[in-house]
């Protein structure tokens, strides 16, 4: 609990001292970890301008009721690149970008109308498009732009990537989709941070660990019921506590990129990422998100 207290105290101090108050965008801010991050930032920085993005208007309304009149909701299906392009045009300032949109599903490849697998679109491609579209605003941030990806900074492994089918159009599996999204995020934060024009921005990839959110609600009943029972027993971290660790991890990234664990502390396992991988993943990503 000392780690949680320290993270919360540090977040409170940093956010209260930020002048001007930050412009924050939380994609996936209507529920779970994103919602808790938006509320945590709003608690410590009541003058922050917080925009949450998702699809669920009533869930958004309950978050906005707590955040107050400086916050707003932008509705968008973040699995569609066209909607991401539209919604990012409605944003005129961003200092902190948090990406938590995601789903838990046992379905195989489920193409969107843009022919990208829905899970990969939410967990990886769409997140990269949000960053690409908002980079010009992040570069202008007086306090330095900050980007936080909440996914899995621990288990990515380039040796388990299918480099011949990067979008998994022919060889889709759930394990493969998870591996590609996490590994490619590991790679892309290095790519973004390597650009001279982004030297004012930090990129953090975080692993939240098991968190008691509603993410299991869409599973078939035979998986949902045991998952809910385990959460009811208190297994996993409360979203509010996870949010403190995630925000702590975000603020402790002082330069470039960083991988942090479920306590917001550096991931110690070395990442075997080389310049060929960075080129390959960045080119592939650019091609898919330009659809
Ligand atoms: N919870 C865990 O134990 C855990 C563990 C490891 C990793 N993660 C990762 O952490 C991230 C957040 O998980 P969570 O537990 O907070 O999930 P959650 O409680 O289910 O929240 C998911 C968020 O994503 C948004 N979202 C889903 N589909 C969307 C779409 N098509 N368009 C726009 N927004 C969409 C939802 O908003 P709307 O419903 O409003 O669209 C919601 O705000 C996910 O990427 C997940 O894979 C979670």
Cβ(285) – ligand 1 distance below 6 Å: no
Task: Give the pLDDT confidence score for residue 23 in this predicted structure.
Answer: 98
Cβ(152) – ligand 1 distance below 6 Å: yes
State which ligand 1 atom lies nearest to the alpha carbon of 78.
Answer: 32
Task: Give the pLDDT confidence score for residue 115 in this predicted structure.
Answer: 97
| Tens digits of pLDDT across the chain (291 residues) | 899 999 999 999 999 999 999 999 999 999 999 999 999 999 999 999 999 999 999 999 999 999 989 999 999 999 999 999 999 999 999 999 999 999 999 999 999 999 999 999 999 999 999 999 999 999 999 999 999 999 999 999 999 999 999 999 999 999 999 999 999 999 999 999 999 999 999 999 999 999 999 888 888 888 888 888 888 888 899 999 999 999 999 999 999 999 999 999 999 988 999 999 999 999 999 999 998
Cβ(62) – ligand 1 distance below 6 Å: no
Task: Give the pLDDT confidence score for residue 287 in this predicted structure.
Answer: 98
Task: Give the pLDDT confidence score for residue 86 in this predicted structure.
Answer: 98
Q: Which residue in 78, 37, 74 sits closest to 57, CA to CA?
A: 74
What does the block give as tokens for 130?
């949000």
Residue nearest to atom 28 of ligand 1 (CA): 102
Cβ–Cβ under 8 Å, residues 97 and 148: yes
Cβ(261) – ligand 1 distance below 6 Å: no
Q: Is the peptide bond before 241 cis (omega within 30 degrees of 0)?
A: no
Which of 152, 182, 215 has most ligand 1 atoms within 8 Å of its beta carbon, as the pocket-test mutant?
A: 215
The Cα 284–Cα 159 span in angstroms is 17
Q: Which domains does the chain have, with CATH numbers?
A: 2-289 (3.40.50.720)
The Cα 20–Cα 26 span in angstroms is 18
Task: Give the pLDDT confidence score for residue 222 in this predicted structure.
Answer: 86
The Cα 65–Cα 69 span in angstroms is 8
The region, left, alpha or beta by phi > 0 then psi within -120 to 50, assigned to residue 73 is: beta
Task: Give the pLDDT confidence score for residue 156 in this predicted structure.
Answer: 97
Cβ–Cβ under 8 Å, residues 98 and 148: yes
Cβ(120) – ligand 1 distance below 6 Å: no
State in Å, rounded, how far the first CA of the chain is from the last one: 46
Task: Give the pLDDT confidence score for residue 50 in this predicted structure.
Answer: 98
Cβ(123) – ligand 1 distance below 6 Å: yes
Distance between Cα 34 and ligand 1 center (Å) = 7
What does the block give as tokens for 184?
């490619």
The Cα 62–Cα 209 span in angstroms is 25
Which DSSP string corresponds to the chain?
Answer: -HHHHHHHHHHHHHHHH-SSPPEEEEETTTSHHHHHHHHHHHHH-TT-EEEEEES-HHHHHHHHHHH-TT-EEEE--TT-HHHHHHHHTT----SEEEE-----------B-TTSSBHHHIIIIIHHHHHHHHHHHHHHT-TT-EEEEEES-SSS--GGGS-TTSTT-SSS--HHHHHHHHHHHHHHHHHHHHHSGGGTTEEEEEE---SB-SSGGGGS-HHHHHHHHHHHHTT-SB-HHHHHHHHHHHHHH--SSEEEE-TTSPBP-SPP---HHHHHHHHHHHHHHHT-
Which of 75, 100, 149, 246 has most ligand 1 atoms within 8 Å of its beta carbon, as the pocket-test mutant?
A: 100
Cβ(28) – ligand 1 distance below 6 Å: yes
Task: Give the pLDDT confidence score for residue 291 in this predicted structure.
Answer: 83
Residue nearest to atom 9 of ligand 1 (CA): 151
State which ligand 1 atom lies nearest to the alpha carbon of 237.
Answer: 3
Task: Give the pLDDT confidence score for residue 71 in this predicted structure.
Answer: 97
Distance between Cα 32 and ligand 1 center (Å) = 7
Distance between Cα 120 and ligand 1 center (Å) = 13
């Amino acid at each position: 609990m000392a780690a949680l207290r320290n993270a919360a105290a540090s977040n409170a101090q940093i956010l209260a001292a930020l002048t001007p108050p930050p412009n924050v965008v939380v994609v996936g801010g209507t529920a779970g970890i994103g919602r808790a991050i938006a509320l945590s930032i709003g608690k410590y920085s009541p003058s922050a301008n917080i925009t949450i993005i998702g699809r669920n208007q009533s869930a958004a309304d309950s978050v906005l009721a707590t955040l107050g009149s400086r916050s707003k909701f932008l509705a968008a299906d973040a699995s569609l690149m066209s909607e991401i392009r539209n919604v990012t045009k409605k944003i005129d300032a961003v200092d902190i970008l948090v990406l938590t949109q995601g789903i838990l599903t046992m379905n195989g490849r489920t193409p969107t109308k843009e022919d990208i697998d829905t899970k990969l679109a939410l967990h990886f491609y769409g997140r990269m498009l949000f960053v690409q579209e908002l980079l010009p605003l992040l570069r202008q941030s007086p306090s330095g732009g900050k980007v936080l990806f909440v996914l899995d900074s621990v288990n990515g492994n380039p040796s388990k990537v299918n480099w011949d089918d990067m979008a998994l159009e022919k060889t889709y599996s759930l394990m493969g989709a998870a591996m590609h999204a996490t590994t490619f995020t590991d790679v892309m934060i290095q790519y973004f941070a390597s650009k001279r024009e982004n030297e004012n921005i930090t990129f953090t990839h975080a692993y939240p660990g098991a968190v008691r959110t509603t993410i299991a609600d869409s599973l078939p009943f035979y998986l949902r019921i045991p998952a809910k029972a385990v959460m009811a027993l208190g297994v996993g971290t409360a979203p509010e506590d996870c949010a403190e660790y995630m925000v702590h991890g975000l603020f402790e990234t002082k330069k470039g990129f960083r991988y942090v664990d479920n306590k917001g502390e550096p991931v110690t396992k070395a990442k075997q990422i080389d310049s060929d991988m960075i080129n390959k993943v960045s080119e592939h990503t650019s091609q898919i998100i330009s659809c």
